[in-house]
Amino acid sequence: MSKGYSCVGLFNPKTPENVGSVMRAAGCYGVNSVFYTGTRYDLAKQFCTDTKNVHRDIPLIGVEDLKAVLPLGCVPVAVELSDDAKPLPSYKHPERAFYIFGPEDGSLKKEITSFCRETIYVPTKGCMNLAAAVNVILYDRLAKGDNFSHH
């Protein structure tokens, strides 16, 4: 029985509300750690929507470069609306995954997507809020099974 492993990378997140909601999702879906780049989040109030205080159990770590903190054996997966992205409904999640999400008001840069082994997207009529996208991706991972859940 495989335990699986997952973490989340946030590229230059904008609002503390979304980061707090991402932390809450990380706690709900058994994420091991959350990393973020950029300074916008650091300038804002931390954890205002982390109502379960998940930051006490799951590290939230500011880093310069998400590629530099890629956990050993994890498959980097970009979550991005792009022509070459795979739709989430048909996607098989890797046992060890590092999901990387772009900012609320932009896209992932080529420097990020170029080191990701796969790019996936959630089919919608528009772009999703960062925290909503994290919730959908992590729920899909849980729902598809393969023993990746910690529940």
Q: What pLDDT, on the 0 to 100 scale, is given for residue 22?
A: 92
C-alpha 145 chain-centroid distance: 18
Task: Give me the residue label for tokens 């029985």.
Answer: 1
What average pLDDT does the chain have?
87
Q: What pLDDT, on the 0 to 100 scale, is given for residue 3?
A: 65
Q: What pLDDT, on the 0 to 100 scale, is given for residue 146?
A: 64
Average of per-residue pLDDT across 27-31: 92
Q: Is the pLDDT of residue 79 over 50?
A: yes
Q: What pLDDT, on the 0 to 100 scale, is given for residue 132?
A: 95
Q: What pLDDT, on the 0 to 100 scale, is given for residue 127?
A: 79
Average of per-residue pLDDT across 113-135: 93
Q: What pLDDT, on the 0 to 100 scale, is given for residue 136?
A: 97
Strand ranges inside 33-74, DSSP E: 33-36, 60-62
d(CA 134, CA 82): 17
Average of per-residue pLDDT across 111-119: 95
Angle between helix axes 130-144 and 16-28 (nearest 10 degrees) is 10
Which range is least confidently modeled, 46-55, 82-91, 109-118?
46-55
Using CB atoms within 10 Å of the CB of residue 31, give its burial: 0 to 12 exposed, 13 to 18 middle, 19+ buried: buried
Of the candidates 128, 147, 125, 126, the one whose C-alpha atom is nearest the C-alpha of residue 136 is 128
Is 77 within 8 Å of 117 (Cβ atoms)? yes
pLDDT tens digit sequence for 31-66: 999 999 988 877 665 556 666 777 788 888 899 999
pLDDT classification of 149: cutoffs 50, 70, 90:
very low
Q: Is the pLDDT of residue 151 over 80?
A: no
